[in-house]
Structure 1
Amino acid sequence: MNQKITLIIPVYNSSQFLHKTVKAVDDQRIKSNWDLELILVEDGSPDKSFDAIEKLTPLYPYIKAIKLSRNFGHQIAVKTGLSYATGDYIAIIDDDLQDPPSLLPRFFEQLDNGYEVAYGIRKKRKEGHLKKMAYTGFYRLLDTISETKIPLDSGDFCVMTKNVKDKMLMLNEQNPYLRGIRAWVGFKQIGLEYERSGRIEGESGYSIKKLIKIAKDGIFSFSSLPLQIITLLGNMGLLISILFALFTMYRYFSNEIEVAGYTTIIIMLLFFNSILLISLGIIGEYIYRIYNEVRNRPHTIIEKTINA
Structure 2
Amino acid sequence: MKGKKISIIVPVYNSEKFLDLLVEAVDIEKNKNNWDLELILIDDGSKDHSFKKIFELAKIFKYIKGIKLSRNFGHQIAVKTGLTYCSGDYIAIIDDDLQDPPNLLPSFFTYLDNGYDVAYGVRKKRKESFIKKLSYASFYKILKKISNTDIQLDSGDFCVMKKRVVENMLKLQEKNPFLRGIRAWIGFNQIGVEYERQARVAGESGYTLKKLFKIAKDGIFSFSNVPIRLITILGSLGLVFAFFFSCYILFQYFVNLIPVKGYTSLIIIISFFSSLILVCLGIIGEYIVRIYDEVRNRPFTVIDETINV
TM-score, length of structure 2 as denominator length:
0.98
SS of 1:298 mapped into structure 2: coil
SS of 1:58 mapped into structure 2: helix
Query: Which residue pairs with 2:215 in the alignment?
Result: 214
Query: Which residue pairs with 1:194 in the alignment?
Result: 195
Q: CA deviation at 1:256?
A: 4.5
Q: How does 1:212-291 map to 2 (within 5 A)?
A: 212-258=213-259, 260-291=261-292
Count of equivalent residues = 308
**C-alpha distance after superposition, 1:128-156 (max 9, x if no partner):** 11110110111011000000001111000
User: Contact 2:253 / 2:260 at 8 angstroms: preserved in 1?
Assistant: no
SS of 1:199 mapped into structure 2: coil
Structure 2: how far apart are the matches of 1:55 and 1:258?
Answer: 83
Q: CA deviation at 1:230?
A: 0.1
Q: CA deviation at 1:262?
A: 1.7
Structure 2: how far apart are the matches of 1:43 and 1:257?
Answer: 69
Structure 1: how far apart are the matches of 2:257 and 2:30?
Answer: 84
Cα RMSD of the aligned pairs, angstroms, is 0.8
Which amino acid in the other structure matches residue 155 of structure 2?
Answer: S
**C-alpha distance after superposition, 1:255-291 (max 9, x if no partner):** 3432532212111111111111111000001000000
Please, which moves more after superposition, 258-267 or 9-18? 258-267
Query: Which residue pairs with 1:64 in the alignment?
Result: 65
Please, which moves more after superposition, 13-22 or 261-270? 261-270
Structure 1: how far apart are the matches of 2:263 and 2:137?
Answer: 44
Query: Which residue pairs with 1:205 in the alignment?
Result: 206
The 3 A distance-change label for structure 1 pair 142 and 92 is same
SS of 2:123 mapped into structure 1: strand
Query: Which residue pairs with 2:179 in the alignment?
Result: 178
Structure 2: how far apart are the matches of 1:70 and 1:301?
Answer: 8
Structure 2: how far apart are the matches of 1:99 and 1:179?
Answer: 15
Structure 1: how far apart are the matches of 2:263 and 2:138?
Answer: 41
SS of 1:64 mapped into structure 2: strand
User: Structure 2: any 5+ residue segments left out of the alignment?
Assistant: none
Query: Which residue pairs with 1:44 in the alignment?
Result: 45
2:105 is aligned with 1:76: no
Q: How does 1:6-45 map to 2 (within 5 A)?
A: 6-45=7-46
Which amino acid in the other structure matches residue 9 of structure 1?
Answer: V
**C-alpha distance after superposition, 1:90-129 (max 9, x if no partner):** 0000000000100001100000001000000001000011
User: Contact 2:67 / 2:307 at 8 angstroms: preserved in 1?
Assistant: yes
**C-alpha distance after superposition, 1:26-75 (max 9, x if no partner):** 01100111000000000001111101111111100000100000000000
SS of 2:60 mapped into structure 1: coil
Structure 1: how far apart are the matches of 2:260 and 2:151?
Answer: 57
Query: Which residue pairs with 1:299 in the alignment?
Result: 300
Which amino acid in the other structure matches residue 23 of structure 1?
Answer: E
TM-score, length of structure 1 as denominator length:
0.99
Structure 2: how far apart are the matches of 1:39 and 1:79?
Answer: 12
Runs of 4 or more consecutive aligned structure 1 residues displaced over 3 Å after TM superposition: none
User: Structure 1: any 5+ residue segments left out of the alignment?
Assistant: none
Q: CA deviation at 1:192?
A: 0.4
Which amino acid in the other structure matches residue 11 of structure 1?
Answer: V
The 3 A distance-change label for structure 1 pair 280 and 25 is same
